[in-house]
Structure 1
């Protein structure tokens, strides 16, 4: 008569090992018992079991969607060789990607005055209209300001894949040599 396997799921192997240790006479050390349990489930030792579960969790995480490189290319065409925005793009999708690249140039976790924000934006574009860029960054939620407009702060949020690809390419362009 074949035996039916009975699965055992233990939320915390360490607590399970402590409880099992109390039932053994003489009880082995905690680490020794963890290694025995890991070997009994097919692993070399407890460290191997931990590494395998950590890798499984990383692999089970949903993969990041790939960047739409055609959109990145359209946005990249708006920038010069020194990674400065040449003109304000006509298409909203391209504008948004360009705003992400400008957002990346603002210092993180720093309160800035309007003059400092304008200075950072003026270094990053050639068409002399920091106000439209600043207002657009605020409209997209990438920049926040006090109600009186005195202090600005970069909103810390993860850029979409296309924005990360654009930021990386512009960073490579901006580096000398």
Structure 2
């Protein structure tokens, strides 16, 4: 999953414009299915592209904000869903099948978001730069580390991390 410097700057501009706090509290992830099914889908780029949606998760002190981009790859309020912490149940952060997984229950439905753990491979970085001409950035791991340290703004109740 690619994340460019331009995309991160665009996200930060949107968050500032909307007065949403920014401090390494966001990450780009794929919304998917239960971990066992995701393990099958994740090995095929074509299946991932067809079946998974890209979301930007922003964790604030009182909400989790789910953002997608419109067809012009822009962030808008139309593509924003803010979920109060009180509406989130069974929040977890795990590492399975080579992916980090953020999951929780919202409105009686289990929700799963994934970030590949092998995104940082030097070979993948070089290939992306060569193919797209764009620099890939290191926000995902840095931001996940920050979010884990602050226990996802209080949502992660258990210190255990698998």
The interval holding the TM-score normalised by the smaller chain is: under 0.3
Q: Which has the higher helix share?
A: 1
- Bigger relative contact order (CA 8 A; separation at least 6): 2
Q: TM-score, normalised by structure 2?
A: 0.25
Q: TM-score, normalised by structure 1?
A: 0.24
